[in-house]
A and B are shown apart, each in its own frame.
Chain A
Amino acid sequence: MEDLLLKKLCHLHQTSSKSDDIIKSLITCRALICSSAVSESSLTFVSTSILHFIEHGRGQYLPFAIKLFSDLVIPNPSYSPPLIDLCSSLISTDNHQAEALSALLTIARSGGEGKLLVKSVLKEDLVLSLAGSRVVSVRSQLLRLLFFVFLHGQETRAAEDDRDHAVLRVFFGLTADLYPTVRSLALDGLVLLCKKWSVGCDVGVELLHDDDVFVRLSAVRLVSGLTQLRLETTPASDRGKFSDSQFLKLCPLARDMDVRVRVEVLLSLEKIKLVSEIVLLQTLTKKIMKVEHYGIPISCAAGVFLQGLEDEYHEVRRAACFSLGGFVNLYAKFSSGALDLLMDMLNDDSDAVQLQALQTLLQMAKNNDLIAQESHMHMFLGTLTNIKAQIRNAARKVIRFTGLRNLDLFRQSVNALLRNMEEYREDAKDILSTIFCIGKTHGGLATRITNERYPEIEQPGPEEFKLGRPRVLGLLVLGISSSLSNEKLTHTFPEKIFLYALPLLGRISPSLEEFISRDDLLSFLCNCAGLPFAEETESPSKDLQPVAALTASAIKQTLKRVSEVWKMMKTRSSRPPVKALRACREQLEMFDQNVCDEDFTGALIFCIEYIHVLELVAEIWEQMQPKDLLIIRTNKLDLLLKKLEKYLGRLRFLSLGLTEKEETHLLELSLLQCALSLSAFGSTEATQINIKIKSLLTRLEQLTAREKPNSYSWSTHIVDFPDLLTLEDLDVRRGLRARKSELRARVVDREFPLAFVPGLPVGIPLDITLQNICDSDSVWLRMTGGGATQYGFLSVDRFGGSHLGRSLAVDLPFYATPRVPFLLRVVVCLECPSGDLTGTKSQHGPRRETVDLSQEVEIYLEEVGKSRSWC
């Protein structure tokens, strides 16, 4: 069969063949090429036949023959050299240049060596002469070929190539071509070209108003691409102005009559970061704000997002929802305006738009920007009852993170969720989990609602068994959530709630899996209900107390979130997410540190303080940004830096069981703090800071020398933000402990101040407990009052108990009593064994720097005799 077919190819070799025969032969060739069972030799014969035909054949069939040959090359790249030779000879003549270029493109795409071979054919002269070709298809094919060969898949600038300049010339030159296809292709190429060579330029702006839709599309892509590129090279002080001007250039196109252009513009707008608030606010209203901004009228931005959201086409509305997401976390005022619009989009008739709106809302909620208003609630909670499961799911996700300001909003949400339980039983698991989540974050409100609704849970009589009702289930979960978040709240409920929940454990526990395991829940419920918990149910997590288990999962989730936030800040170079970090910290702070297992307390404290440090870093960074980026100075920079230093010290010296990696990271952060202080305070404290840097470096080198013999390359590290410690895998059970102390004055009542005789020492009665302090630690008591500071050494031996917990009741003398009543501040502090030497020469006091172990306690002192006079 194959031979029979091969024989038919003879017409290709004869110059006098008829047209019909030639067509048949060519069709036969195609059949052979397409067949997978053709032998290698036959293919070779086919290729030589076609080649022969092209070289000697008649012009009218040449395009087909060339196409055929290039199709042959796709599965068999070994045939590309003859085709390349053929193409290069065809290109040098005036005929069939376009076909030849298209064949070259096929070769380049066939992979392997193809691309390199084609690249070798494209000489500089050839490229330029082809670009000046009169035939439009040659120009467009050339652009496609150059695009693929020189730009595709090469994001960064490869080795210097002589032809690069010619390629750039061609792409630039052809942006002014008469034909829209060529213009569009050239613009598309320029985007990559400029990225590859990191050159930024202002092309494309005038083509934004081209008559052809595709040229406009390409121009929009180019302008947004170049904007991103140039933002990186623009000095920080000009960035705001530059991105505003680019943003405003794109805005008029958001009212284009073509849907594709509108979508592209809205998506491109999202990519321009750092747009001023005033410009963004203008995009939310059609009413023109009479503001001149950097000398550019902002009226063209009027209602861009609003009209995008009102668009007839769901693609545009969806793009607008998506695009809003890029800006919602930037400014509070814009955010609340966008929130109103997004909430309205939940009433859209397209599911895709609703989902995207929910997605954007989720983004806002995660950043703590979603504060629900009364006016939103109807539409927002309405989505919970949407007929589409996907939308219901997305809506519940948003609710989990929504800030519900008052009892009314919280009640509405809980009611909606409870109704939801009844209407969509298939969603029960997710709904319960959502109720648990909002109950946990709004502990107090949840308690009030549960107590309010208690009669619903209460069984009225044996004949009416209500417990199985989904509504009741929801209420029980709400009660459990609030008491799990804070054990103190447990006592505000009737015990019966927990008792009722016990038989429903099987239905409740699957929903709460991500927060607490079934056994832990059981033991918690038994505990609260006052039942003995059967210890036989041995399980791997048995040693975890329920609250602790909850803590563990919360810590994990929060840390994950923190690292996401940090990553976002590093990559997007947007406003530091102080708010988001604060939200994370607050979430962890809600856990009662005292009820947890010792192990967890350590981890919890560590995490809270660590996030606090990150928060400070972010805040400092924000302060150090150029001022035109609308930053409101709330805290003084120096105060923040001091605060950061203090917190870093606490983290470093009070945490026991830090790994080397963690310590290194903390040291790096300290170095960063020093560097920032140097730049902020300048020479005033330079010597002191330098000493600190030196000691930090010594410690760092000690640490890294153990791992790697090479010395620590610190210089590169403190220039930029340090990478975040991979806290996700922080093992909360591995024994991270915090040194801690509690200090209590036995007489601390302002009504009855302590009496003293001026000039004579006065004994201060104190109860001190120490945790995780070993015998070798030196603990001091710092007393500050009446303008004097006095240290008292607390010998650890005098304390009773083990290193896990020691306590002591002691009367410590304060010597420098002034002549007037005064306030004495007392705090227990730890002398850091590896800390820096302090400059103070005082004999009675720590020689190295100290960190506070306890909260400061204030004690009021009054002169003897006077103290009682007014009582």
Chain B
Amino acid sequence: MAIECLVLGAGQMVGKSCVVVTVAGKRIMFDCGMHMGYADARSFPDFSLITRADEGGFDSAISCVIITHFHLDHIGALPYFTEVCGYSGPIFMTYPTKALAPLMLEDYRKVKDQRGDEEKFTSDHIIKCMDKVTTVDIKQTVHVGEDIQICAYYAGHVLGAAMFHVKVGDASMVYTGDYNMTPDRHLGAAQINHLALDLLITESTYATTVRDSKYAREREFLKVVHKCIYRGGKVLIPAFALGRAQELCILLDDYWERMNLKVPIYFSAGLTIQSNMYYKTFIGWTSQKIKDSSAIKNAFDFKHVCSFKPSMIHDPGPCVLFATPGMLTGGFSVEVFKHWAPSEKNLVTLPGYCLAGTLGHKLMSGKATTVDLDKDTRIDVRCQIHQLSFSPHTDAKGIMDMVGYLSPKHVILVHGEKPKMAALKGRIESELSIPCWFPANGETVIIPTAQWVKIEASNALLNSHNNSNLHDFSTQNMLLPTQGETVVEGFIMMEKGKKAKAVHKDELLASLSLEENKVHFAYCCPVKVQSLEQMATKELSAGTLAGMELDEQWLVLLFMKLKENIHSTSVVMGSDHLSIGSFKIYRCLKDKCCHRVGKLADPEEPRAYFCCSWTKEDEKLAWRVLSIIKD
């Protein structure tokens, strides 16, 4: 069996994540994103590469679609795929993703609409697409058909982001989507269990970057903000509604609380307030601290935050304002900027990355003293500009930690830049000795998987587990490290149509409904009467054999002799036989016993015969006893 991994998007690039994995005839699509940089066909994954099974279309080709989070580069092409391409099979995503995805898609569609670009899907498409979605919770296992099992794990990154563990038969893999190993203030770090994986498909946005502590950046940010408001200035934080706004707001709200500051923090009305509602609703998907304190206070009910009215732009006194959009591309944040930029006391905090051509980019690229907004408006920029980078992706150390922790058999890198991915691949292969690939879009990687046969072990077998250390333990090796090997002995039973089973040896017969057969050895041993009689006379004189029949006498004599030679208490005298373990001796009175072997002895010489029988375990003992008897 092999895992076939076809990369439709995000192969050696960032954007339009889409990976199709085929195992044992089942085909699973991870993410269905779009590329924001293109307006043509390249913006969507090339779905035609998926081999369709005859006329059944995508429905028969793809078993299920799994979406990791609501960013457009992971979900953007989904309405197109379902409504235009006609896929109607199951789609899985987490609750917050399902809640936030329509907002994002609708927002994008509107922008396209405003620009007059060609629409790939309509509002109706989005609604219909979302109807087909099945939601999953963290660590909830969902079965798709008989063979596929899906389980989501927390990924950090954005609200509702998840990593998916998928099992198809015995093949097991994890698709991480985007994740973050360092916790934010509002989201936790990615978390996953020890899993035995054949394949790990991980993002590699920061394949070579190692980020330093975010605390230093936070400290600087708080310092400039505090200084600004201390001098009576106003702080403008242009931010995208989801993620960064909440993160910074929690940071500030917390600082305000501790420092007992009274300066107001405003949110410009609109998406931000609305998205705060989503955070409040999905409080279980946020960081540990917020979850812990949610019983007392919802961290997204910001204590010092109130909504902002456009008329308040000219209000005197210091304040902090969060305004959309993030890169000062227009809209309200630019409106506010126009009024606040000319004052030296004020401060504008920009995100770490602004697209070229935006006002944000202009401000960052140099100390601009004047900015032309349009032909008629020119603004003197005298305010301070501060930059705060903030990325919810894990860095190289985090990827290595994740790969090291999961220790899969194979790794595939997606969602990254080619040269950096190559460097990371080198590290994974050299440091962790795990084979690694980073296929380009449209390429397929075939990964062999070992066929694992699962066997059930019976309770008796597990209980019988024999602790080798305890038994081999002697003074010499007392201080050696433990071997770490545990030996369990048993039988493997494989039956047609049933799962293989390991059983303890005691259970074997019962489970096969067979009776136990044992091999007995038998030998009729001749003893010279003469020697017996000699002994008998000796004993007779001692008077021990008085009143016994001849046969009995001989057995007693034999008993005494054996006792003398074997020095064992195990020799037991029965009514008509002697026994030592499984070795039994009877007096044989038959003329022709079938166990008498060898050439017939001289008929003249009187002999007494003893029939002996024993099992295989006592073979050594038997030969010893026989030699004694023969003497």
Which A residues are within 8 Å of any B CB, using their own CB? 128, 131-132, 134-136, 165, 168-170, 172-178, 199, 201-203, 205-207, 211, 252, 255, 257, 285-288, 299, 302-303, 306-307, 309-314, 340-341, 343-345, 347, 349-350, 375, 378-379, 382, 385-388, 423
Contact = CB atoms under 8 A, between A and B. Distances in A.
Given A165-B475, A174-B467, A286 B193 contact: no
A173 B469 contact: yes
B397 A286 contact: yes
Contacts of A343: 219
Q: Which of B395, B404, B484 has the most CB of A within 10 A?
A: B484
Interface stretch (B104-112, B182-190, B350-358, B524-532): B182-190
Contacts of B254: 349
A175 B482 contact: yes
B478 interface: yes
Given A257-B405, A310-B183, A176 B216 contact: no
Interface string B219-230: 100110010000
A394 to B, nearest CB: 14
A111 B212 CA distance: 55
B471 interface: yes
A502 B480 CA distance: 76
B41 interface: no
A347 to B, nearest CB: 6
Contacts of A379: 219, 222-223
Contacts of A285: 212
B482 A306 contact: no
Given A257-B192, A312-B288, A206 B222 contact: no
Contacts of B257: 387
Interface stretch (B457-465, B547-555, B609-617): B457-465
Nearest to A288: B210
B287 A312 contact: yes
Contact of A128 (B211, B258, B470): B470
Given A201-B481, A203-B481, A385-B259, A257 B215 contact: no
B193 A169 contact: no
14 contacts: A172-B469, A172-B478, A174-B470, A176-B483, A177-B486, A286-B397, A299-B431, A310-B182, A312-B289, A349-B185, A375-B219, A378-B222, A379-B223, A423-B260
Q: Which of B464, B465, B466 is most buried by chain A, counting CB atoms within 10 A of its CB?
A: B465
Contacts of A252: 404
Q: Which 10 A-B pairs have the closest CB atoms?
A: A173-B470, A344-B215, A312-B183, A134-B463, A173-B469, A286-B397, A378-B223, A201-B479, A312-B188, A169-B473
Contacts of B213: 306, 309-310, 341, 344
A395 to B, nearest CB: 12
A174 B479 CA distance: 14
Nearest to B259: A385
Given A136-B463, A165-B475, A255-B401, A314 B289 contact: yes
B521 interface: no
B289 A350 contact: yes
Contacts of A375: 219
Given A135-B463, A286-B397, A341 B470 contact: no
B467 A176 contact: yes
B390 to A, nearest CB: 14
B537 interface: no
Contact of A378 (B212, B219, B289, B482): B219
Contacts of B188: 312
Nearest to A354: B258
B485 interface: yes
Given A176-B469, A177-B467, A382-B259, A345 B478 contact: no
Given A134-B464, A173-B470, A347-B255, A257 B193 contact: yes
A205 B481 contact: yes
B367 interface: no
A340 B467 contact: no
B218 interface: yes
B214 interface: yes
B369 interface: no
Contacts of A128: 470
Contacts of A255: 401, 404-405
A170 B470 contact: yes
Contacts of A177: 467, 486
B468 interface: yes
Nearest to A170: B470
Nearest to B187: A312
Nearest to A384: B259
B383 to A, nearest CB: 20
B502 to A, nearest CB: 13
A387 B303 CA distance: 15
Contacts of A201: 479-481
A310 B260 contact: no
B194 interface: yes
B455 to A, nearest CB: 16
Given A176-B484, A203-B481, A349-B185, A387 B470 contact: no
B191 interface: yes
B211 A286 contact: yes
B404 to A, nearest CB: 8
Given A176-B485, A382-B259, A344 B405 contact: no
Contact of A345 (B192, B215, B470): B215
Contacts of A135: 463
A309 B215 contact: yes
Given A174-B470, A378-B226, A168 B215 contact: no
Contacts of A378: 219, 222-223, 226
A347 B482 contact: no
A176 B215 contact: no
Contacts of A206: 481-482, 484
A286 B405 contact: no
B395 to A, nearest CB: 7
A534 to B, nearest CB: 44
B486 A176 contact: yes
Nearest to A351: B258
Contacts of A387: 257-260
A205 B226 CA distance: 49
B172 to A, nearest CB: 15
B259 A347 contact: no
Given A168-B478, A349-B185, 4 more contacts: A172-B469, A174-B469, A307-B182, A382-B259
Contacts of B466: 132
Contacts of A347: 215, 218-219, 222, 255
B232 to A, nearest CB: 17
Contacts of B470: 128, 131-132, 169-170, 173-174
Nearest to B196: A211
Contacts of B462: 178
B33 to A, nearest CB: 27
Nearest to A194: B479
Contacts of B219: 343-344, 347, 375, 378-379
A375 B220 CA distance: 9
Contact of B214 (A131, A173, A310, A423): A310
A706 B574 CA distance: 89
A285 B395 CA distance: 13
Interface string B567-599: 000000000000000000000000000000000
A314 B185 CA distance: 12
Nearest to A200: B479
B155 to A, nearest CB: 13
A175 to B, nearest CB: 5
Contacts of A307: 182
B462 to A, nearest CB: 7
Contacts of B397: 286, 302-303
Contacts of A176: 467-469, 482-486
Contacts of A299: 431
Nearest to B407: A209
B473 A173 contact: yes
Contacts of A131: 467, 470
